[in-house]
């Protein structure tokens, strides 16, 4: 693991017998240099194993070709798709992906965002624990795209799981259910609020009684409480905040000897890895998470590559600088109900 000194542009220029500026041009804009010279420089650079210093470029241009994905918990399988989607899109454009875990803490998130400023060109902020205001403020210092959040003036991508849950409710009604529980997620969750706001009017419209249970931490272990509460509440079906919670519910029902779907129909949300592995397989709401990630990265890159076309730098001293046209509404991605074995007719 010895470390060899990297050749610099100066080394290349010297070896090729040209000035650094010529070497620089030859490597970045070959058109503006004598073809023969350019070839020679390129050859020498290759031979020496020259790699331009990212730090020097960054210092000069203010651009790092790096984008961060900020999320509350890398552990949560739901976010894996986001990692993949953003990563794939970023790689396509030659960007480097940085991963930041905020450990479900608003404080850590704020601090992370602060430190990221200057280190990255922008960030995709997923399931943020911050307030709208805090995000808006952070967006002043760092190009931001939010996922599952609406912040006026900040581009965003929304997964319409609320819509998916309404589909689930309709499905249950068709199956004859008239009293359905919703096992709620954390009160701090923006998505949870959105879902409740969608479920309540839908329930009224469909003439079904909706019982809200919880809130529950969106993890498997909370499933036991949720299952018990559902049984106590005398519902025939339960829609869970997410699949992890639904897995826990299934486990508990199994342990208590309650058959699914005969004793209780169960619906999850997100279609994470494993939802088709459990028995009975879980009826759930498929979210195009990976696509959302790709989209978020795309929005950010569009922003970034429009922003400073070529290292522009204003010398205005009034502090404030660029103000860009902001895309109106966030992108809303539809979700889809996947019916599997965990839901069935209501037992009268």
CA 100 – CA 70 distance, rounded (Å): 5
Whether a cis peptide bond, with omega within 30° of 0, leads into 280 is yes
Q: Smallest distance from the beta carbon of 17 to a copy of itself, in angstroms?
A: 18
Q: Is 324 in the site for DNA (CB under 7 A)?
A: no
Q: Is 279 in the site for DNA (CB under 7 A)?
A: no
Q: Closest Cα to residue 242, out of 209, 264, 211, 274? A: 274
Q: Smallest distance from the beta carbon of 96 to DNA, in angstroms?
A: 17
Comparison of 155 and 185: residue with beta carbon closer to a copy of itself? 155
Q: Smallest distance from the beta carbon of 220 to a copy of itself, in angstroms?
A: 9
Comparison of 24 and 345: residue with beta carbon closer to DNA? 24
CA 18 – CA 49 distance, rounded (Å): 18
Comparison of 174 and 273: residue with beta carbon closer to a copy of itself? 273
Q: Smallest distance from the beta carbon of 32 to DNA, in angstroms?
A: 6
Secondary structure (3-state) at 99: strand
Sequence length of the chain is: 348
Contacts (Cβ under 8 Å, ≥6 apart) of 187: 215
Q: Are 226 and 203 in contact (CB under 8 A)?
A: no
Burial class (CB in 10 A: 0-12, 13-18, 19+), 325: exposed
Beta strands per DSSP E along 127-227: 143-147, 156-159, 179-183, 209-213
DSSP string covering 154-180, please? B-EEEE-HHHHHHHHHHHHHHTT--EE
Q: Smallest distance from the beta carbon of 136 to a copy of itself, in angstroms?
A: 10
CA 332 – CA 148 distance, rounded (Å): 9
Comparison of 49 and 257: residue with beta carbon closer to a copy of itself? 49
Comparison of 222 and 236: residue with beta carbon closer to a copy of itself? 222
Q: Smallest distance from the beta carbon of 83 to a copy of itself, in angstroms?
A: 6
Q: Is 10 in the site for DNA (CB under 7 A)?
A: yes
Q: Smallest distance from the beta carbon of 68 to DNA, in angstroms?
A: 19
Comparison of 57 and 196: residue with beta carbon closer to DNA? 57
Q: Is 65 in the site for DNA (CB under 7 A)?
A: no
CA 119 – CA 162 distance, rounded (Å): 35
Binder of residue 97, out of DNA, a copy of itself, none (CB less than 5 to 8 A by kind): a copy of itself
Comparison of 96 and 217: residue with beta carbon closer to a copy of itself? 96
CA 271 – CA 168 distance, rounded (Å): 13
* Interacting residues with a copy of itself (CB under 8 A): 1-6, 49, 51, 53-56, 58-59, 64, 66, 74-75, 77, 80, 83-84, 87-88, 91, 96-101, 114-115, 117-119, 139-144, 153-155, 247, 273-274, 277-279, 303, 307, 314, 319-324, 326
**Binding-site size, DNA (CB under 7 A):** 31
Q: Is 30 in the site for DNA (CB under 7 A)?
A: no
Q: Smallest distance from the beta carbon of 31 to DNA, in angstroms?
A: 8
CA 54 – CA 58 distance, rounded (Å): 6
**Terminal Cα-to-Cα distance of the chain (whole angstroms):** 71
Comparison of 60 and 204: residue with beta carbon closer to a copy of itself? 60
Task: Give the pairing type, strands 265-267 and 209-213.
Answer: unpaired
Contacting positions for DNA (CB under 7 A)? 6, 8-10, 17-22, 24-25, 27-28, 32-34, 36-38, 50-53, 56-57, 59-61, 310-311
């Amino acid at each position: 693991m010895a470390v060899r000194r990297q050749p610099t542009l100066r080394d290349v220029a010297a070896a090729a017998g040209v000035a650094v500026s010529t070497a620089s041009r030859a490597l970045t804009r070959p058109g503006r240099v004598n073809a023969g010279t350019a070839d020679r420089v390129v050859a020498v650079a290759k031979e020496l194993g020259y790699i331009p210093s990212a730090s020097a470029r960054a210092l000069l241009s203010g651009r790092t070709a790096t984008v961060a994905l900020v999320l509350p918990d890398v552990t949560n399988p739901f976010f894996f798709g986001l990692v993949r989607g953003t990563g794939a899109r970023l790689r396509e454009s030659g960007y480097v992906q940085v991963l930041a875990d905020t450990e479900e803490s608003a404080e850590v998130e704020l601090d992370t965002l602060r430190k990221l400023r200057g280190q990255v060109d922008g960030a995709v902020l997923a399931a943020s624990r911050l307030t709208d205001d805090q995000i808006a403020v952070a967006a002043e210092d760092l190009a931001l795209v939010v996922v599952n959040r609406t912040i006026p003036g900040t581009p965003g991508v929304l997964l319409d799981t609320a819509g998916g849950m309404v589909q689930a409710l309709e499905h249950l009604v068709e199956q004859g259910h008239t009293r359905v529980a919703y096992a709620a997620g954390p009160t701090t969750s923006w998505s949870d609020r959105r879902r409740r706001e969608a479920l309540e009017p839908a329930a009224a419209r469909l003439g079904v009684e909706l019982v809200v249970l919880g809130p529950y931490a969106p993890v498997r272990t909370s499933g036991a409480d949720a299952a018990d509460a559902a049984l106590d509440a005398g519902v025939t079906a339960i829609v869970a905040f997410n699949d992890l919670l639904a897995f826990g519910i299934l486990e508990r029902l199994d342990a208590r000897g309650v058959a699914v779907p005969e004793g209780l129909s169960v619906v999850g949300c997100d279609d994470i890895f494993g939802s088709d592995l459990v028995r009975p397989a879980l009826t759930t709401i498929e979210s195009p998470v990976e696509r959302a990630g790709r989209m978020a990265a795309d929005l950010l890159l569009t922003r970034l590559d429009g922003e400073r076309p070529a290292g522009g730098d204003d010398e205005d001293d009034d502090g404030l600088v660029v103000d860009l046209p902001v895309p109106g509404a966030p992108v809303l991605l539809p979700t889809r109900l996947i019916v599997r074995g965990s839901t069935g007719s209501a037992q009268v």
